Amino acid sequence: MTPAQARRFAVDASHALAAAGQGDMVWGHVAVRDPDGRGIWIKAPGWGLEEVRDDRLQLVSHEAEVLIGDGTPHKECHIHLQVLRARPEAHCSVHTHPVSAIAFAALDVPLLPLSHEGTLFGGADVPRFRETGGLVSTPELGEKLATALGEAPAALMPKHGLVAAGHTAAAAVMHAVLLDSACAIQMQAQAVGKALIHSDATEARAKRAQCWPDSQLEAGYRYLVRKAAA
């Protein structure tokens, strides 16, 4: 990957998240690891995900300083800096505030594999970052968030939003989208009764492998990119 390609991924991933309904006015962001090791490519503050263009990107260093681009860095750039530092295999991270994920996190109940989306975690519950419901505005909080995420595709941030990571921009974006969708499905089911029918751990692991290989994550991501362009 070249820096130009990383910038393209940062733009496309932002648009894909917006097309999936994960925009929150000018808040929320996606970051792509700079292939030259200088830090992360991320949108400049003040722009919505759907408004991101190449000239609205910043290259933010590991010390949270803007190397390329205009303005100051996002207060929560430490989310991406620390997640990508802790996950050397990951090339992209996402932090958004989708309504269903926030609402589900407030219920403090396990995420069940009720659907294809729910099997993203292979029958295990989604991790949760409970250190703070406020901004992750320091390296220390970013590191604790990265620890909570661990090797999982995504994690809930109760009272705040979600974080996701992936070895490609497609994977990171789809992990965020699928988590929010799984939360929405479970809340709909539980609104009318206790959700009883779901995959056991064995079936959930098998469905995760069937439904969410790289090819399917890429297909879903490409659809969202096309939807944004249209």
User: What pLDDT, in 10s, does the model give residues 190-204?
Assistant: 999 887 899 999 999
Sign of the alpha-carbon dihedral angle for 86, 87, 92, 95: negative
State which H helix or E strand residue 161 sits in.
strand 161-166
Extract the residue ranges of the chain whose pLDDT is less than 70: none
Please tell me the predicted confidence (pLDDT) of residue 127: 98
Residue from 184, 124, 115 nearest 151 by CA:
124
Please tell me the predicted confidence (pLDDT) of residue 185: 97
Please tell me the predicted confidence (pLDDT) of residue 56: 98
Please tell me the predicted confidence (pLDDT) of residue 22: 98
Please tell me the predicted confidence (pLDDT) of residue 195: 72
State which H helix or E strand residue 222 sits in.
helix 214-229
Q: Measured between alpha carbons, how far is 60 from 6 in angstroms, rounded to an integer?
A: 13
pTM for this one? 0.97
Please tell me the predicted confidence (pLDDT) of residue 194: 83
Please tell me the predicted confidence (pLDDT) of residue 1: 87
Q: Measured between alpha carbons, how far is 23 from 16 in angstroms, rounded to an integer?
A: 10
Amino acid (one-letter) located at 191: A
